Amino acid sequence: MKNDIDRVLFSEEQLQRRIREMGAEISRDYAGKNPTMVCILKGAVMFYTDLLRNIDVPLTMDFMAVSSYGNKTKSSGEVEIRKDLSTSIENKHVIIVEDIVDSGFTLSYLTRMLASRGAASIKLATLLDKPSRRAPGITLKSDYSGFEVGDEFVVGYGLDYAEYYRNLPYIGVLKPEVYQG
């Protein structure tokens, strides 16, 4: 698996250091607010569990799965809910936790959808952002953003290519020959 990685973009240590800062910032902002932390499966799962361990205000957890790339490396622009929340978010302060903002379709759709369910507030915590890939007309900004990346496909620490590489403890770029098979 490691042989498929061209180079490491963010090491375990870099990820953990940044996530500690993000957790501290969220803890300050959400004192007394008991936020509901929504994990977008599966890509955000590593980030989610590490982030939550660095937040020291009372919070609740919930999970959602949406369709994204399938086995392709380009977003279709369509968002399908595969697994919905198991709790009500009415009057709750919601923080959506996602691995990466690419075109921005997924998170702008989810933000609108969860707002329509009567959340008291909705903010976004995202590990990675690819600002250069934002779709026309999408003006999405993450409230808590870990790192910016360029226009390249990254894997590891939850992020996959064709469902693999999620268990790498760091984030890296695949060798081109891996896509070409």
Between 58 and 97, how does the x/- string for binding to ligand IMP read (CB under 6 A)?
----------xx-----x----------------------
Cα 55 from Cα 31, distance rounded (Å): 10
Q: Which of 6, 29, 62, 102 is catalytic?
A: 102
- Kindly report each contact of residues 75-84 with a partner whose C-beta sits within 8 Å and lies 24 or more positions away, as own/partner: 75/102, 75/103, 75/105, 75/106, 77/103, 77/105, 77/135, 78/105, 79/105, 79/106, 79/109, 79/110, 81/113, 83/41
What residue type is assigned to position 133 of the chain? R
Q: Nearest distance from residue 100's CB to ligand IMP, in Å?
A: 5
Size of the residue set binding ligand IMP (CB under 6 A): 17
User: What does the binding site for Mg ion look like in residue numbers (CB under 5 A)?
Assistant: 43, 68
Asked whether position 51 contacts ligand IMP by CB under 6 A, the answer is no
| Residue 98 lies near ligand IMP (rule: CB under 6 A) | yes
* Smallest separation, CB 55 to Mg ion (Å): 21
Contact call for residues 19 and 47 (beta carbons, < 8 A) = yes
Question: What is 161-176 written as a DSSP string?
Answer: BTTBSTT-SSEEEE-H
Among 37, 38, 94, 103, binds ligand IMP (CB under 6 A): 103
Q: Does 153 bind ligand IMP (CB under 6 A)?
A: yes
Question: What angle separates helix 12-29 from helix 45-53, to the nearest 10 degrees?
Answer: 60
Which among 1-9, 84-92, 103-111, 116-124 is the span making contact with ligand IMP, rule CB under 6 A? 103-111
Please say if 102 is a catalytic residue: yes
> What amino acid positions are annotated as catalytic residues?
102
Which residues bind to ligand IMP, rule: CB under 6 A? Answer: 43, 68-69, 75, 98-106, 153-155, 159
